[in-house]
Amino acid sequence: MAGPFGTTSTTDDVLSGKDLSGKRVLVTGVSAGLGVETARALAAHGGQVVGAARDLAKAERATAAVRAQAASGGGLELVELDLASLESVRACADALLADGRPFDVVIANAGVMRTPFGHTADGFETQFGTNHLGHFVLVNRIASLIAPSGRLVNVSSSGHRYSDVDLDDPNFERTPYDPSVAYGRSKTANILFAVEFDRRHRARGVRATALHPGGILTELGRHLQPGELEATVERINAQLAAEDRPPFQFKTIPQGAATSVWAAFVAPAEEVGGRYCEDCQVSQVTDGLISPVSPGVRPYALDPEHAKALWAKSEEMVGERF
């Protein structure tokens, strides 16, 4: 049963009664926030979680509750992964391939948001390089490990509405840098990657989807300027009041991670494959002026030809064909 779940559903609501014994899941970004909660919920329902993190010492501390709450048969192991370094990404993929155990689901959860202008170890703009290209290489390198009837779940954001991808200037070499636009590009790329991965792998039963977890207070917001978050919420609430709607409320972390585990193990694969989800539902395509907290996905983020073009550009940038 895929529902009824919604905005306030938590990970444990979504997985209630679900036995994940024998299921193996790779979750990136398990040193804080949604990644830790996603891993906890899966392990608490019997899943074997492989958690990837750049800082293994931090991840060890952050995931103590994951191990403490793991059900019989459930558990967590950690692997090192720095998505801002393709050397690290390839080493992580090589280790997983050498291990050889398959995954039922890969949840590409890690990411950065609205960073100052900078570059990854390989010279890519920080947000596009970390949020998209790092996961693009990792997932494609280990695609053979995703079991038939398995899934890829890309954690994107409503931030994709800030911008479509720019395949002509992905590293802001000619475009003035704007952290919100850069974040939007990377989050649109997360969705387009899922669309094309789904097209390429559905024949063997592997489906891919992308999602918006909701507005949540996590470490992701560490690059926001003082007062910026409060000012944004104030603007949103003024707009909502004008529309005679209740004020915006942040989700808790268990509510924010709910759509990830819903898309991974609860929603029917044919419903979420190649789609964008939020609040434990498949989102509608919308192209009008909408509130920043209204549901919906921009049409450019689901365009199949656009997704193919991004795939080709991504291969060119990382120097690998998949």
Question: Which of 189, 53, 199 lies closest to 132 in space, CA to CA?
Answer: 189
| CB 230 within 8 Å of CB 305 | no
Burial of 169 (0-12, 13-18, 19+ CB in 10 A): exposed
Q: Where are the beta strands (DSSP E) in the chain?
A: 24-28, 48-53, 75-80, 103-108, 146-155, 207-212, 276-278, 281-282
Q: Where are the alpha helices (DSSP H) in 100-221?
A: 126-127, 134-141, 179-201
Beta-bridged to residue 7, according to DSSP, are: none
User: Is 183 a residue of the active site?
Assistant: yes
As a whole number of angstroms, the distance between CA 243 and CA 111 comes to 33
Q: Give Cα 5 distance to the centre of its chain.
A: 19
Q: Buried b / exposed e across 81-100, counting CB within 10 Å, b at 16+?
A: bbbbbbebbeebbeebeeee
Annotated catalytic residue, options 163, 187, 276, 283: 187
Question: Which of 248, 250, 188 lies closest to 218 in space, CA to CA?
Answer: 250
User: Is 308 a residue of the active site?
Assistant: no
Annotated catalytic residue, options 156, 157, 163, 186: 156
Annotated catalytic residue, options 85, 88, 158, 183: 183
User: Is 156 a residue of the active site?
Assistant: yes
Q: Which residues are catalytic?
A: 156, 183, 187
